[in-house]
A and B are shown apart, each in its own frame.
Chain A
Amino acid sequence: MRLRTFILLRLLLTIPMVLLLVTVVFAIMRILPGDPVLAVLGSRAGSEQQIEAFRHQLGLDKPLYIQYLEYVGNLLRGNFGYSMVRQDPVSSELGDHLPATVELTFWSMLLAIPLGIYSGVFAARKAGGKVDASIRIGALVRWCVPVFWFGLVLQILVVQFNLPLPIAGQASPRIASVPHVTGLYTVDAILAGDLRALVDAFAHLVLPVVSLGTTMAASITKIARTNVVDVLGEEYIRVASLKGCSDERVFQKHALPNALIPILTYTGLQVAVLLQGAILTETVFAWPGLGRLLIDAVAFRDFNLIQGCVVLFALVVSIANLIVDISYAVVDPRVRF
């Protein structure tokens, strides 16, 4: 199969996958007990008639399959519905909060991927030794530390030792005057050429990115180490050394490229875990991203908004899987068949 055909096929396959995810989310929201109308109205719930009127306004009085078809139809047109509490289209709420999450996850990955791969590979090359053991134990323990508690501990350290780092938020109020073109504070600061705003944006990123990034790095380290150790045990590595390649060359040319393929796949699949961690990290650091939005929506029982957030998360995960599969096909031609 040609690469182009593969990419096209894989793209087509994404459509039913996303549809299925939307269906699962819809099913969970509608099959489980809990009445969105009563939940939103709460103590404000008036007469039966008022409740019915509100139900009608939201279209919740229609048969389930019509609600489903309407929902999917609207989604295809990019319409996520209306936030019941915020009185605002869900899509604009999602759009407002997306950049903050992108910024957080981007910098976290930028920390996690090199750190994880480097320490995993480093451990694997010293397999069996003390360095290997301490990297393995370190990664295991870090993996067991929940991201939100790690964040809290960082905050505690900053407070107790009076370190000059912000412990919450995305920017200091007095500096947040840079025009928000992209919504990504670091990019906006660069675009505006404002050095103080840039330093401020990075300072706010330090704690959240360290919390989230090291969590991801821990699992990448583990997977990287295992894969490199496995590859180093292969026969073709022995052959390469026996025919006189230097250790360094064997490692660079024969071992590393083969070990990197599964590591990259695994890293791509970690995007789902990264999103899950982002929700918690955003809560710890009052970071105004999608995770915060979701948790607020849950607190107010804002069903359309909850649904919108989860569908967007699902979409991001599907796209990440798509990218992983395509890059896999590019580096390893066997996959295309």
Chain B
Amino acid sequence: MVVVGIIIIVIALGLDVYAHIVGPDPLATTYQGLSPPALDHIMGTDQLGRDLFSRVSFGTTFSLLVAFISVAISVSVGSIIGALSGFFGGKIDRVTSLAFDALYALPPLIIAILIAAMIGAGIVNTGLAIAVGYMPQYFRIVRGIILSIKERPFIESTRAIGAGYVSLIFRHMMPYAIPSIIALMTLNMGSGIVDVAGLGFLGLGLPPPTPEWGTDLGRGRDFITAGAWWPSTFPGLMIVISVLGFTLVGEGLDEIFRATSTRKKETF
């Protein structure tokens, strides 16, 4: 599963690199508008006469970049607060847990719409808007793991030989959470890509003329009734392919980590 997923991701990125080197400019409006797929434009052109293959391939950069920024933000905020909250416990823990529980009840896309509406779109802004909705997942996982190992003897001994809080939490406890965090991050890369496209589709994504899958297929839908199916088909196909890649890797990693942890349990 992991291997197939990685191959899919590599192909998507390869297309992107290929387009950067040899493909036509994704912003050049030099061609006949809305011409169907043919040999010179294998995915056809959009309403402004831009080469769709080039836009779809360039779009990989932006979608993956924004998704990656969002995952990076949510994993750092979520897991650091989760770790501190689980470690110190008490009132702080209760308050943060409640706040993250409330956030967890709202679907990530709705939070993203709310924030994107407030702070506007852009590569970092959109990444941030998507990130907030995913923070509770990391918070919960890390907090749970920290809570479960907090009372173990090796933590007490590490503390006894003089380890400070920072080193205790981040050097001695966090490593236990890393496998679950990595699996979740990979899965959330997939959801992040869908959310980026979703925001773009709703008109809240990266501003034009950036080649972005969601925005492109959203604009293309005005021409469906006129029979032009390609502008909204190919960007979506790329979304599916890249999401599938990340989901396969994520699920595969999850299965592997879970299998190793149950095996460990059985040997006790």
Residues of A at the B interface (CB closer than 8 Å) are: 17, 20-21, 23-25, 28-29, 32-34, 140-141, 143-146, 148-149, 152-153, 155-156, 159-160, 167, 272-273, 275-276, 279-280, 283-284, 294-295, 298-299, 301, 306, 310, 313-314, 317-318, 321
Which B171-198 residues have C-beta < 8 A from chain A?
190, 194, 197-198
Contact B118 A146 (CB under 8 A): no
- Considering only CB atoms, which chain A residue lies closest to B200 in the complex? A148
Please give, as numbers and ranges, the residues of chain A lying within 8 Å of B232 by CB-CB distance. Answer: 149, 152, 156
Please give, as numbers and ranges, the residues of chain A lying within 8 Å of B233 by CB-CB distance. Answer: 152-153, 156
A149 and B114 contact, Cβ closer than 8 Å, known pairs A34-B119, A276-B107, A279-B109: no
A146 and B119 contact, Cβ closer than 8 Å, known pairs A21-B106, A28-B114, A280-B201: no
Interface locus among B27-35, B155-163, B240-248: B240-248
A317 to B104, CA, bound (A): 10
Please give, as numbers and ranges, the residues of chain A lying within 8 Å of B221 by CB-CB distance. Answer: 152, 155, 284
Please give, as numbers and ranges, the residues of chain A lying within 8 Å of B101 by CB-CB distance. Answer: 17, 20
A276 to B191, CA, bound (A): 12
- Considering only CB atoms, which chain A residue lies closest to B120 in the complex? A34
A146 and B194 contact, Cβ closer than 8 Å, known pairs A153-B233, A159-B225: yes
A156 and B106 contact, Cβ closer than 8 Å, known pairs A34-B119, A283-B202: no
Please give, as numbers and ranges, the residues of chain A lying within 8 Å of B243 by CB-CB distance. Answer: 144, 146
Please give, as numbers and ranges, the residues of chain B lying within 8 Å of A143 by CB-CB distance. Answer: 247
A32 to B229, CA, bound (A): 39
Please give, as numbers and ranges, the residues of chain B lying within 8 Å of A314 by CB-CB distance. Answer: 105-106
A334 to B247, CA, bound (A): 35
- Contact for A276 among B109, B197, B247, B248, CB less than 8 A: B109
Q: Does B236 contact A (CB under 8 A)?
A: yes
A177 to B221, CA, bound (A): 29
Which B83-121 residues have C-beta < 8 A from chain A?
98-99, 101-103, 105-111, 113-120
Please give, as numbers and ranges, the residues of chain A lying within 8 Å of B99 by CB-CB distance. Answer: 20, 24
A23 and B102 contact, Cβ closer than 8 Å, known pairs A28-B114, A273-B107: yes
A275 to B106, CA, bound (A): 10
Please give, as numbers and ranges, the residues of chain B lying within 8 Å of A283 by CB-CB distance. Answer: 201-202
A10 to B250, CA, bound (A): 35
Which B232-266 residues have C-beta < 8 A from chain A?
232-233, 236, 239-240, 243-244, 247-248, 251
Which 7 pairs from chain A and chain B are nearest by CB?
A149-B236, A276-B107, A32-B118, A20-B102, A276-B109, A298-B117, A144-B243
7 more A-B residue pairs beyond the given contacts A17-B101, A28-B111, A32-B115, with a C-beta to C-beta distance below 8 A:
A21-B105, A24-B102, A25-B106, A140-B248, A146-B194, A149-B197, A279-B109
A299 to B233, CA, bound (A): 25
- Considering only CB atoms, which chain A residue lies closest to B236 in the complex? A149
A279 to B108, CA, bound (A): 12
A32 to B128, CA, bound (A): 12
Q: Does B37 contact A (CB under 8 A)?
A: no
Which B29-64 residues have C-beta < 8 A from chain A?
none
Q: Does B227 contact A (CB under 8 A)?
A: yes
Please give, as numbers and ranges, the residues of chain B lying within 8 Å of A17 by CB-CB distance. Answer: 101-102, 105
Q: Does B206 contact A (CB under 8 A)?
A: no
A294 to B247, CA, bound (A): 29
- Contact for B239 among A149, A273, A275, A276, CB less than 8 A: A149
Please give, as numbers and ranges, the residues of chain B lying within 8 Å of A153 by CB-CB distance. Answer: 233, 236
- Considering only CB atoms, which chain B residue lies closest to A30 in the complex? B118
Q: Does B204 contact A (CB under 8 A)?
A: yes
Q: Does B203 contact A (CB under 8 A)?
A: yes
